Amino acid sequence: MRTGLFTEAEEPHLLGGHCVACGRHHFPRAEICPYCSADGARPVELSATGHLWAWTAVTAPPPGYRGEVPYGFGVVELPEGIRVVTRLTEADPSRLRTGQPMRLVLVPVGEDDDGRAVVTYAFSPADEP
Amino acid sequence: MNRDLGARTMSTVEVAGVGLHPFGRFDDVSITDMGVTAVRAALADAGVGPGGFQAAFCATAYGGVASGHKVLGRLGMTGMPIVDVEAGCASGGAALMLAASAIRSGEHDTVVVFGIEKMPKGIIRSSFFEPWQEAGGLAATPAYFALRAQRLMQTSSVTKDHLAAVVVKNRRHGAHNPDAMFRSEVDADAVLASRVVCEPLHLWMLCTPNEGAAAVVLRAARATDGVRLAAAVLRSHIPGSVLSESTPMAGLAHDSVPTPSALAANTAYEASGVGPEDLDVVECQDTDAARELLSYEELGLCPPGGAADLVEQGTTELGGRLPVNPSGGLLSKGEPLGASALGQVVELVHQLRGDAGARQVDGARVALSHTVGRGANAGVVVLTR
């Protein structure tokens, strides 16, 4: 995966930006605010918990993807006032609901051309162990 | 046309001719061949020969370098500016906008606009996504459609049955279109029995990327009863919506960002003096069944939340008050990106001329074409007669 998307600590966080000009958060982190075009956005670690806003499951591997299917896919709303597009650890849409508490985790998604494990971010239902 | 710059008036633009290469899969036909077929048909329809046009715009997303030049080179018609135009699913709308502007300004009298495409098979691999997004499984285009569909169902009375009804309607229309890829009717049970690609979207609720070409000859209006291009508008997205066709990785937690389709429609209505209540027939982007219902709202065909009612009342079927996608839509025709918007315009010109055969909307005088996709870009074209 691209570096600079998330921290790899035991409790990972997505790396976003906070624009000092317009006050809004964004992800992934960018030098220029994608909403107001101001320079100098401040790097921040985004909240690791949020609420589920939309979800589905991907049943066939999309282009360039070597991990397993099906996998969950959705949007989680974070307290910073942003909605993040993300994989979900739950691949059964019937087990998910609007507003469900979610927590950031890191998951393996196959290997790259050099045989190295690829790890990416996902959100998992927070009410499960 | 008045070339006296001191007293130059803006020209009205008319559609002088249209042509098509059928949409489908044609393994033995090159993208250039398809373009030649469509452009020749449009030029013949318009009565325009070599030297009869001053510029050409070619819409294509996957065609490669100088795609339009290759088509016109095969026809021995070069020397004028030939420009390829890419704006995702709205590429054809973008090309029309550029051509219409050149005619209105008096720069050119007659311009050929065409769209050509040979799409890769399967889920489209798009250079739009970065390698890290692909590796993480985030380049799942149908999943973004599914999330939009799910939100529509959560925030309105739209159900899976309405999604199936859109497919049934468009496939019924497409059964009468010899240029469509799928020409058989389907029933709702069969749609809902097709496999789930991304819940709530089943396979038959998604259009098929394919191949085809469409061409339109525009010129400064001279006929009194011709089809007029009343507006050709392209707009891009305003950032903030997480489910925008721009497929951002994040968006803002509020829903007040206007969509590019709504921006384009409102601008086109203003430019043409036509409102949604004046429309007789519409061709809209039905990449998936929910996308058509979102378009109803964005184009102002119904009030917010009213899309399900239009389906239930049969309003948008042939024979209804405002038929949508009488050609069968992308769900019947398939979607060759660069050609799809111009394919809609070809259909609507036939509708306004009254020669659409079994698909004819009786007495159609005002028509609207809508496409939206990657970028995000949205195109809206208004045609009148």
> CB contacts < 8 Å between A and B, how many?
128
CA-nearest residue to A96 within chain B is B199
Is 70 exceeded by the pLDDT of residue A29? yes
Share of chain B above pLDDT 90, in %: 91
Min distance B134 CA to chain A CA atoms (Å): 5
Q: Where is average pLDDT lowest: A100-104, B110-114, B138-142, B270-274?
A: B138-142
| A42-58 average pLDDT score | 97
At B81-124, the pLDDT tens digits run: 999 999 999 999 999 999 999 999 999 999 999 999 999 876 66
CATH (one of 3.40.50.1220, 3.40.50.300, 1.10.287.890, 3.40.47.10) for B5-118:
3.40.47.10
Q: Give the range of the structural domain holding residue A70, as residue numbers without chain letter.
A: 15-125
Question: Given this model, what pLDDT does residue B58 score?
Answer: 98
CB of B243 within 8 Å of any CB in chain A?
A: yes
Question: Given this model, what pLDDT does residue B129 score?
Answer: 86
Evaluate whether residue A7 is within a structural domain.
Answer: no
Find tokens 């707009």 and name the residue.
B235
CA dist B116 and B76 (Å) reads: 18
Other CB atoms within a 10 A radius of the CB of residue B166 amount to 28
CB of B153 within 8 Å of any CB in chain A?
A: no
Which of B21, B83, B87 is closest to B58 using CA atoms?
B83
Which of B344, B68, B65, B8 is closest to B179 using CA atoms?
B344
Q: Looking at beta carbons, which residues of chain A come within 8 Å of B252?
A: 24, 35, 81-83
Superfamily of B142-207+228-384 according to CATH = Thiolase/Chalcone synthase (3.40.47.10)
Higher-confidence residue of B129 and B267: namely B267
Instruction: Decide if B173 contacts B359 (C-beta within 8 A).
Output: yes
Is 60 exceeded by the pLDDT of residue B126? yes
Mean pLDDT over each residue of chain A, to the nearest integer: 93
CA B337 to chain centre: 9
| A103-115 average pLDDT score | 88
Evaluate whether residue A99 is within a structural domain.
Answer: yes
Evaluate whether residue A95 is within a structural domain.
Answer: yes
Question: Given this model, what pLDDT does residue A111 score?
Answer: 82
CA dist B195 and B172 (Å) reads: 21
CA dist B82 and A47 (Å) reads: 51
Whether B207 sits among the annotated catalytic residues: the reply is no
Is 60 exceeded by the pLDDT of residue B9? no
Selected residue of A29, A33, A46, A56 to mutate for chain B interface (largest B Cβ count, 10 A): A56
Q: How confident is the model at residue A118 (pLDDT cuts 50, 70, 90)?
A: confident
Q: What's the one-letter identity of residue B162?
A: H
Q: Where is average pLDDT lowest: B101-105, B170-174, B219-223, B317-321?
A: B219-223
CB of B99 within 8 Å of any CB in chain A?
A: no
Tokens of A113: 């051309």
Dihedral sign for Cα B186, B189, B192, B193, please: negative
Which of B285, B298, B303 is closest to B343 using CA atoms?
B285
Tell me how far apart the terminal alpha carbons of chain B are, to the nearest angstrom: 20
Domain spans of chain B? Answer: 5-118, 142-207+228-384
B328 SS3 class: coil
Q: How confident is the model at residue B42 (pLDDT cuts 50, 70, 90)?
A: very high
Whole-prediction pTM: 0.95
Domain count, chain A: 1
Q: What's the one-letter identity of residue B161?
A: D
B195/A16 Cβ within 8 A = no
H helix count then E strand count, chain A: 0, 8
Q: Please, which residues have CB within 8 angstroms of residue B145's CB and are 6 or more apart in sequence?
A: B198, B201, B206, B287, B288, B290, B291
Question: Given this model, what pLDDT does residue A24 score?
Answer: 96
